């Protein structure tokens, strides 16, 4: 059983449409969709935004469904010049950019476990699956919808991700993140929290982020539309090839 989490329902819409033999469980104001996706046993759930919501969802998912691994998928804002809208980031390490327990711990260090970041697993397999998805891109993403977001030559980068309970939408904040966490290339609101729960439960964790904006003062994209027409179909394509390699 593989757990798949997204922060918004639009981000897993295409996956839900493909899910077979569906049963649902309602807990903690979340709906957990259990079924088969490309002949693989999965449970899908959207966690809602933020570290607390995603942590609660992940903990419930682990305790109720005992997944062999968890994959988080959704959108993120780029804080790295080489990333463009429509690019894919496979997470390597996850940082909580708003965590500061000084003087008891170093800045960004997670209390008790004493780690500044948490590593993902299965990034090589996801990288291979993403490359296969790009080869068959037009089978999953409508070309006219891609052009609406100026997506022409999407690419993959494996890199570090920063998570925090705030929407990064200014150049000032980006410059700060570039300075204090120079290896991070995109920013979002859930990944590092899910990674911490998975670490403590000893569940393999990996993350796919689709770049929806540049996380700057010009970040005025329609996130709902992008998530439904682009990000959701990216997840569908990437996971199809990921599961085929199982």
Read off the tokens for 198.
Answer: 């998975």
Pairing status of strand 40-46 against strand 2-6:
parallel
Read off the tokens for 13.
Answer: 């819409």
Determine phi and psi for 185, rounding to 5 degrees. Answer: -120, -15
Burial class (CB within 10 angstroms; exposed 0-12, middle 13-18, buried 19+) of 169: middle
Q: What is the DSSP string of 122-179?
A: -HHHHHHHHHHHHHTGGGTS-HHHHHHTT-SS--EEEEEEEE-SS---SHHHHHHHHH
Instruction: Round to whole Å and give the CA distance between 76 and 188.
Output: 5
Identify whether 64 is a catalytic site residue.
no
Largest CA distance in the chain: 53
Determine phi and psi for 75, rounding to 5 degrees. Answer: -90, 165
Identify whether 98 is a catalytic site residue.
no
| Active-site choice (11, 87, 109, 160) | 11
| Active-site choice (87, 188, 190, 213) | 213
Q: Name residue 2's beta-bridge partners.
A: 42, 69
User: Which residues are identified as catalytic?
Assistant: 11, 213
């Amino acid at each position: 059983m593989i757990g798949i989490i997204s922060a918004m329902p639009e981000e897993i819409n295409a996956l839900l449409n493909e899910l077979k033999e569906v049963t649902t469980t309602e807990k903690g104001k979340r709906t957990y969709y259990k079924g088969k996706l490309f002949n693989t046993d999965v449970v899908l759930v959207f966690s809602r935004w933020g570290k607390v919501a995603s942590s609660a969802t992940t903990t419930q998912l682990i305790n109720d469904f005992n997944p062999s691994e968890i994959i988080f998928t959704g959108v993120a804002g780029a804080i790295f010049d080489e990333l463009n809208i429509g690019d894919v980031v496979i997470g390597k390490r996850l940082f909580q950019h708003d965590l500061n327990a000084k003087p008891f711990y170093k800045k960004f260090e997670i209390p008790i476990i004493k780690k500044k970041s948490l590593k993902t697993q299965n990034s090589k397999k996801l990288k291979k699956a993403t490359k296969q998805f790009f080869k068959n891109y037009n089978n999953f993403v409508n070309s006219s919808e891609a052009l609406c977001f100026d997506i022409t030559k999407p690419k993959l980068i494996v890199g570090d991700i920063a998570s925090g309970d705030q929407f990064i939408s200014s150049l000032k904040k980006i410059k700060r993140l570039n300075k204090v966490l120079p290896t991070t290339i995109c920013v979002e609101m859930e990944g590092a929290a899910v990674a911490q729960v998975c670490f403590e439960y000893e569940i393999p964790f990996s993350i796919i982020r689709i770049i929806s904006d540049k996380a700057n003062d010009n970040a005025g994209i329609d996130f709902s539309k992008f998530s439904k027409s682009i990000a959701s179909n990216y997840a569908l394509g990437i996971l199809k090839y990921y599961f085929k390699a199982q």
